[in-house]
Each structure stands twice: as C-alpha cells, then as structure tokens.
Amino acid sequence: MTTESAAAAARTTVYGYPRQGPNRELKKAIEGYWKGRVSADELRSTAAGLRAGNWRQLAEAGLDEVPTGDFSYYDHVLDTTVMVGAVPDRHRDAVATDPLDGYFAMARGTKDVAPLEMTKWFDTNYHYLVPELGPETVFVADSAKQVAEFEEAVALGLTARPVLVGPVTYLLLAKPAPGVAADFEPLTLLDRLLPVYAEILADLRAAGAQWVQLDEPALVQDRTPAELNAAERAYRDLGALTDRPKLLVASYFDRLGEALPVLAKAPVEGLALDFTGSAAANLEALAAVGGLPGKRLVAGVVTGRNIWVNDLSKSLATLGTLLGLADRVDVSASCSLLHVPLDASAERDIEPQILRWLAFARQKTREIVTLAKGLAQGTDTIAAELAANRADLASRAASPVTRNPDVRARAAAVTEADARRSQPYAERAAAQRAHLGLPLLPTTTIGSFPQTGELRTARADLRAGRIDTGGYEERIKAEIREVIAFQEKAGLDVLVHGEAERGDMVQYFAEQLTGYLATQHGWVQSYGTRYVRPPILAGDISRPAPMTVRWASYARSLTSRPVKGMLTGPVTMLAWSFVRDDQPRAETARQVALALREEVNDLETGGTSVIQVDEPALRETLPLRAADRAAYLGWATEAFRLTTGGVRPDTQIHTHMCYAEFGDVVQAIDDLDADVISLEAARSHMQVARELAAHGYPREAGPGVYDIHSPRVPSEGEAAELLRTGLRAIPAERLWVNPDCGLKTRGWPETRASLENLVAAARTVRGELSPS
C-alpha cells in the first residue's frame, strides 16, 4: 500500500471510556442497589443508558469505531473471570443463585465469604480483582455480556469493536487459589483457556463483530522466554481459527520490547501500540522488525494517562513515520481513557487560559479526530487547530504558574545529609521505646475513620454557604472527639484524629500547596464505586502555611495517648495527581518533599511524637521494565527521606502502603528508613510479612489483619490467626497490629466491631506470648 492510500484509510477509535457518567450515576446506582434502594432492573437500565451515552458521545465526536465490553459494574478483570467461568469455588453457589449478587460478592465479600484479592492494574491507580486459579480450574465460556453490549452498540447504528482482556495477560495477572501450592503457575493453564477464547470469538463473530481487540498489556513487562513462547503459541492458535473475527492485539503503558517481534509475526490482522512516553521506543523497534506489512496498526499517540493537551505537530510527525510501516494506520489514545476524567469543559473554577492546557476524555477524542484528519487530508485542513495548539503549548511554557525561582533555588540547594536521619535506626528505636512506652504488639489504625453522610453534608453546606467556616470547624471537632473517644474505649494504643476534615488524602494537601490545581468534576475510578478527583500538579510547589498542625494539636488535647500526625508522602502526591510533564518527575518530587518537610517539622515542634507519611503509591508507580527501576526508586526513596529526615531520634516515623505486590520493592521499603511500616496483608494471608522476613527487614512492621475493602467484620479469631502467622515472620517486639488501610469507605458499625475484634486479638496473642 502506498503512503497516500494508507493515510486516506486512517480511522479513529479508543480502547475504553470513563464508565461512571457525567455525575457518577453508576456509583450512585450500584451503591443504591447494595442498600436495597435500587432494583436490579433499575441498575441495569442505568448502566445501559450510560453505555449508550458514551457511544453516542464518541460517535458525535467523529470516532469511526467505538469499543464495547469495556464497561463494568466493578472491574473488567472480574468480568473476564466471569466470561471464562473461573469463579472461585467459595462463590459458585452465590453466582448460581443470583449472578449479579454473586458478582458483587466476589468483589466485596459477604459476612461469611472472603472476596477476591485486589491489587493495582500495572502502574496505574486503578485496582483489579486478582483471578484465583489452580490445577483443577475448569474454564467455561460465557460470552453473554460481551455479545449483549456489542449488539447494543450495533443497534444504535455504530461500528463497534469488542474489547477483551487477552488470555496471556489474564493468566499472568492471576495467582494460585487458596490451598494451591504457592509455586503453581497459572500460565500453565493456557492450553485449557484458549478453546474458551475460541468459543467467545466465534460467538462475537456470529453476532456480527468484524474486529475483536485482545488486550495484552502484561507483555510490556520483562518476560521470560517461556512466557514469550506462551504468547507466540496463544496467537498462533487463535490466529489459525477459521470461525473468528479479525484480531487486534493491543499493548499499552510501555514499550513492548522483546514481545514486539512475537506479536508482529503472529497470524493476527492488527496490533495496537502505545507511542507515548517511554513507549515511544515502539516506533524504532517496529521499524527494526520490518513493520507490519499487510496489517492494521492502531497508533496510540494521545496519552490516556495524563490530562495535558497533545502536541499535535509532534504526534503528526510520529504518525507520518508510521505510515510506511503498516498496511493501515489508525489513530487512538495510548490506552483506555478510563484513567482520565470525562470532560474538562465542566470545570468552571479553573482559569480559562489554564483550562486550555488540559484535555480530559472528551477533549482527547477530539484530538484523535483532528490528528486523523490531518494525517488523511493534509495539515492544511487542520491549520487552525495546529495554530491554536501551538499557542496553548507556548502559553503553558511561559506561564508564571509553572515556574517559581525561589522554589527551584531551594530544591537545588538540597544536600545528601538533608535526606538522612541524625541517628541510625537501632538508636532511634531505643529512644522511641523509652519516649512512647508502648506495649508488645501495639495497636493502631492507618489514619482515616468513616466519612459519614453528616461529614459530606457539612462540606456541601460550607460550599453552598449554608454554614460558615466556624460552624463547619465545630462539626469537624465534634467528629474528632467521637473518634478519639471511641479509640480510647476500644483500647487502641496509638490513636489517630480520623481525618474528618479531609475529603481525599491527596486533594486535601494539594488544595493548600501552591502549584496545584483542583477540579470539581474530575472523577476517575480507583476501584468499584470508589472514585477520586486527582488534583493537577501544574507548577512549582511550595507550602504557604501549616496544613495539619491545628487539627493534630486539637486531637492531642483530648487524650494522653500518642496521636499520629498524618501526611501523604511525596511519591503518592505525584502518583495520585495528574503531574506536569514538562520536567523530570524527580525534580517535582523533591519540591513536594521540601514542602512536606516543613509540615513534618512543624508537627514535631507542636508536640506530635508519631508522624505517619503515607506512601501507598511507591509500588504502583514502579516502572514496568526492570531497567528503569533503579533510577525511579533512587529519587522516590530520597524524596521520602527528605520529607522525614529533619526530625529528632525519639520522633517515630511511620509509613503505609497498600494493595500492591511488594516483593519487587522490599529493598526500597528498607531504603525509606521509616521506623514503622504498615502494609496490606489480610487478603494475601500475610505474604508481605514473609517477604520482609526473607529480605531481613530490620525495622518494625504492621501487616494488616483487617481487610477494609470488604464490609465483612473479621472475627477476633481470624485476626488472631493472622497475627500468629505474622509472628512466624516478624518478631513480636517489631510487630504492630492494624487494619490494611484507612477506614474512610467503611461504615461506623462495622468499623467499631472490627477494631474491637482487632484489639481483642492483640490482647489474646500478647497473652500467649507472655502468659501470667
């Protein structure tokens, strides 16, 4: 095919779209269903309306092909588990009785049955539910959801492409089921799984699908020869099927590396590749393998991970180079738009000029359409768009919002000594034990307590002017008093103030730091019905005034027990924000760390002896390729130490991490030099405790004994048994007792019962260690 005909054939698509609706209608409908206020039929009707609305928006924006199957009530990996019939045995009866309730039971658990484990989707802040597989797993095809949603889009007169999690990625994301040997490799089930995918593909072809997308993002990670051979075999076998649609194999989040030649040679009709950020290396690699002659290439040149406007000229240059490397080049985002908010035009509080720097999902679809038009018809046809884009990029580069000379001078003056505590851990630990006087197996929580309807109403009343600041702060103080009183009564050893004043652990600080922008409608799904509004880190960062000291001091005035000061760490402040892309992240992290260091020092000066700096995102932002990790972990751990390095030896520094695989970052956890770390461990049955022990981790740790992402109340016996498991890896003098994560999303009844059981379990196990 000539370059001219390839350009003329350019079409537009995306891999997925935000699910929640303009006003989070899906969240409200699902939570209403859980509470019995919304019927199953009403929930399904709401979901169908949101899907149709999304497809219409995409079509009206000019997209030629819309994705189907990306919509989910909770998680698309859980949807895949249902699609291939891999429902865990403990949930089979519930799924058979009521598929919808059974689906939510797998996600959330029930009073008697534990949910699936949850962890981060690659290096994003989206969480997926981990498939549980074993040698006895039997796969059974269930294409009902995928076929039905495809037919819904077709009924609207749209060209649609079903999107499925690919078989290799599905197995690589899975873990051994409970009771299965820990060294079992789910990928050994590939030959058993492929016939199920073949049946689903046949069903979609029978429904009229011309193309089906199979997502294989796991192939952008470092893969063994055996794993690459499995990918080659999977797509050799699927490609050889006669009763199937055309296959588009998609990867994203990074460069494909050694997997690219495998997929390029596979007997499939198309590849979808990411060409943004570090994945730009796919361009050179694709040329090195001879391109994709006779195949479709979907080029992801508009980032699906961040919210800055695209450099249209740069993307057009990339697309122009790609024209000679494939039979047909189509234009898309780099990954699903699930990871960005819906519509920047809804933001009324951001200055109009700054708003022009931003592109949410709707704006990104317009960028995709503009690029395809320029590619197919020539840049003259988009001259106005290119001129406006150049002006927006220049405006951002020159804006005083983005650069503060004082902040930059302070960051440049940082020395290695600034990121070190004044004494080694052993000496600090002795000073802290003497100062705090805590018992064996001290109990605490991670920070937040339930965000009640009353708290949300108080915030809404303040924004609407129905109450003044004084009235709002009195409500917050009342909540803090209740939280402190409950913890004292329950018998917790180190208390927290409950974070009643914080709607979100990142946004709360972002709103008080210069250089950040806040959105009103920039919701992004984190998991299930949990949505967050990531702030936008647009410029240089500084702290105009203390942010938490007043509330920490008030909480301490209510009790004689230690109360933790609670901060969000610099890496998480970046990871859970949309971060500026005009300077290295290491520089931005150092600026944030210096602002937080001021807050840590002010907390200590005010009398706070235990300060927690949360870094739940340290693992999730670990680069997907091992070659890129040392540099990231170097600046990430330095930023944490810079935040905490100025305190006295007897001030105890805690950190917290949750819902990630920690084995890859145990050395980095050690390098943080925190005195105590709390980690998610309940769903993984204390796996992280074993990983810390294997590493020889020398400090104190609190692997969680209460899974807060489920409404289940763990019994005293369950918590005690997890503690005993933890003690087999971590000595009692260094083991803490705590939940997996903060309690913000839980209700008060289950929180009270769970924490009372946690404290009772700690007392029971203390008694076993020190019998009277």
Catalytic residues: 709
Q: What's the DSSP call for residue 13? A: B
Q: Which amino acid is at 579?
A: V
Distances (CA, A) of 237 to 146, 165, 195, 196, 229: 21, 17, 9, 12, 12
Distance of CA 296 to the CA centre of its chain: 31
CB 680 within 8 A of CB 738: no
Contact 341, 125 (CB under 8 A): no
Tokens of 423: 């004494």
689 burial via Cβ count (<10 Å: 0-12, 13-18, 19+): buried
- Asked whether 646 and 640 are in contact (CB, 8 A), the reply is no
End-to-end CA distance of the chain: 85
Token digits of residue 229: 């051979």
Q: Which of 273, 289, 738 is nearest to 487 (CA)?
A: 738
Those residues with Cβ within 8 angstroms of residue 485's Cβ, 6 or more apart along the chain or in another chain: 558
Residue 466 is inside which H or E element, if any?
none
Residue 327 φ/ψ, nearest 5 degrees: -70, -30
Tokens read off for 678: 């709390």
- With the C-alpha atoms ordered 46, 47, 48, 53, is the resulting torsion angle positive or negative? positive
- Residue 70 phi, psi (nearest 5): -80, -20
Angle at 237 between CA 235 and CA 242, to 5 degrees: 110
What is the 8-class DSSP label of residue 447? Answer: S
Are 655 and 636 in contact, with CB atoms under 8 Å apart?
no
State phi, psi for 703 to the nearest 5 degrees: -70, 130
Give CA–CA dist 85/95, Å, rounded: 11
CA distance 371 to 386: 10
Q: How many other CB atoms are there within 10 angstroms of residue 410's CB atom?
A: 16
Which pair of structure tokens corresponds to residue 175?
Answer: 């873990």
Cα–Cα distances in angstroms (integers) from residue 534 to residues 295, 503, 531, 742, in the given order: 38, 12, 9, 18
Burial class (CB in 10 A: 0-12, 13-18, 19+), 186: buried
Helices 585-605 & 629-644 angle (0-180, nearest 10): 20
DSSP-based three-state secondary structure for 257: coil
DSSP state string for 607-640: T--EEEEE-TTTTTTS-SSGGGHHHHHHHHHHHH
Ramachandran class of 447: left when φ > 0, alpha when ψ lies in -120 to 50, beta otherwise: left
**CA-based nearest residue to 732, from 691, 770, 688, 685:** 770
Six-digit token string for 206: 């029978």
Among candidates 524, 530, 672, 573, which has minimal Cα distance to 118? Answer: 530
- Do the Cβ atoms of 317 and 299 come closer than 8 Å? no
